[in-house]
Amino acid sequence: MLKKEVADKIGVHPVTLSRWLAGDRYPERDKMLIIHELFGWSVTQQMLAYEKSTSEDPRAYGEALAKHIEPWVADPETRY
């Protein structure tokens, strides 16, 4: 999948996905549910990564998200 395809499946603009991965923004809970359904990353684990991002490491959520979606991106040139 390309970055745009991943964003489309989640229902967001690719720039929004990039912001999540950078730790600049975080998904709403409804998007967390979609991420869980698509990539198998539980909402509980997402919330823990979010809490770590807001209290300790701003990039924690983005790094964890990248780890979960990276295997789904077929072309290494399109990885985030």
- pLDDT value at position 69? 87
d(CA 16, CA 26): 9
Tokens 């549910």 sit on residue: 33
Predicted TM-score of the model (pTM) = 0.80
pLDDT digits (tens, 9 = 90+) for 56-80: 898 899 999 999 888 777 555 544 4
Q: Give residues with Cβ within 8 angstroms of 21, minimum separation 6.
A: 62, 65, 66, 80
User: Domain-by-domain residue ranges, the chain?
Assistant: 3-73
Q: Are 5 and 49 in contact (CB under 8 A)?
A: no
